[in-house]
Structure 1
């Protein structure tokens, strides 16, 4: 069904996968397997290409995260917090426009006007919740968010490194599917 360096369409249609590198070899009656990219010639993958049962158990690797680079943590947290800040400002602007379009602010003005009925000093909610004022406040909160999240994640990377040197870090187990 397969020759060196290529796999037939019927084998790929049955859920198998090949990397396009290495040679295919037979592992049993009618089942073909593809070699891994860095494997020795004659070594077979853990999942047969022909759709049969796995011939080799999954490979498991235990890794330890022993150190987090504070500079890379700071760069990533800065970019993520800037994106969150921009999304927050856009969200506030869209929410304000939706509420204004639905007439919520004019209803609040009418309701407060009937309750207080002060003709000399009429109440206008737009003095407090105008679009410019709300957008300016959300931008200020976004900038504070960027500064705090960047500082906290950098501090967190330093603290992780100190704790990791004491206890050895976080251990991860990765499996090869």
Structure 2
């Protein structure tokens, strides 16, 4: 392989990054729902309230801090950053590969048939 077209690499890496971002968001929602159904947030929230001695209403409320909309916003921001960075890094990698392939001639790939 003597050259990788940066435009093609950018398009493919963008599509794969979008797929990874969607998988990340779906996994975060499923994990949050499982943890909420198991009562993890209420149990840990009760433990934090006991440990800090703040049984009144002005204590730290873990359930409102880790609510589903807040987790979705955070996960979406991380997914968008991942899409931008992965696309940029893959495109930069294609440019670097093209420069290095110009010096050494690229990668030789030999395909053989099984008989």
Common fold: TM-score over 0.5:
yes
Following TM superposition, where does structure 1 have runs of at least 4 consecutive aligned residues deviating by more than 6 angstroms? none
5+ unaligned residues in a row in structure 1: which ranges?
Answer: 1-64
Name the one with the larger strand percent.
Answer: 1
Q: TM-score, normalised by structure 1?
A: 0.62
User: What is the aligned-residue RMSD (CA, Å)?
Assistant: 1.0
- Length, aligned pairs only: 113
Q: TM-score, normalised by structure 2?
A: 0.94
- Structure 2 residue 31 is matched with structure 1 residue 80: no
Name the one with the larger helix percent.
Answer: 2
Alpha-carbon offset, residue 95 of structure 1: 0.2
- Structure 2 residue 90 is matched with structure 1 residue 169: no
Retained in 1: the 8 A contact 2:42–2:63? no
Select the residue among 6, 10, 33 that pairs with 1:97: 33
5+ unaligned residues in a row in structure 2: which ranges?
Answer: none
Alpha-carbon offset, residue 115 of structure 1: 1.4
Higher CA-based Rg: 1
For CA contacts below 8 A with separation 6 or more, give which structure has more relative contact order.
2
